[in-house]
Amino acid sequence: MKIFNVFLFLSFLFLISCDKTENNVDTSTLRTVTIKDLAADPTTGFDPNNGMPIGDTKRFTFFRFSDSSIVANTDSATTKWDIGFRASTIIVNSGISGPGSAAAYVQTGLFSELKEIPTDSIFKTDVSASNLAVGKSWYTYNGQTMIFSPTPGKTLVVKCSDGKYAKIELLSYYKGSPVAPDAFKDQARYYTFRYVYQSNGSKKFE
C-alpha cells in the first residue's frame, strides 16, 4: 500500500512538472504569411489603337505587414501602411511616397537563406519616381512574351512603419499564379508573395 501511495505521489509531481514546462514555452515572434492575388490596380483591357492598358485607376494598393491588412486608399497620407503596389511599381511609406519611416532594399540571395539582416545593409527610402527603394530589380520583363517574372534570388527586405522588419519573396505577378503565364490570357497586376514579419524588433528571421 505504501509503495502504491509513493507511486501516486511521484506521478502527481511529474504531472505538475509537465504543466509548468508547457506554460513556460515562449511564443514565436515570427509571422509567416502567404498573400495570394493582391490586386495592384489591374486593367480591364487594352486600347486597340495604341496597345496601352485601360480601366486602371492609377492608385496604389497599400499593405501592412504586422496584421496582413490592406489599408484603405483614404489612409495613404498616414503611417498605417508599409508598402504599396501599383502595376509593376512598388513603393514604401517614406520620402515622396508617404509620411512614414519605412525603408527597403533588395537582397541578393534565396529567401530561405536570409536568416538575419546583414549589419552592413543599406535601407533606402523613396527619393523620386525614378529612384525608389525597391526599384525594378525585383522583376525581369520579357519583351517578346510581354511577361513580368519575379527575378530568382531576389528578396525584398523592409523596415516597416512600426520599426519592425519583414522579408518578402515575390512569387507571381499574375492572377492564380500560373506556372507559365500568357500575357494574352492571364490577368496581370495580381501579386502573390510570402513574407516573414519579425515582431520583436530584431533583424533575425529564425
Q: Tell me the per-residue pLDDT of 135-177, one tens digit each, with 9 for 90 and over.
A: 999 999 999 999 999 999 999 999 999 999 999 999 999 999 9
User: How far from 106 is each of 15, 48, 77, CA to CA, in Å?
Assistant: 50, 36, 25
C-beta separation of 186 from 201 below 8 A: no
pTM for the whole structure: 0.83
Cell 520579357 found at: 142
Amino acid (one-letter) located at 104: A
Q: Tell me the per-residue pLDDT of 12-66, one tens digit each, with 9 for 90 and over.
A: 333 334 343 333 333 489 999 999 999 999 998 777 777 677 889 999 999 999 9
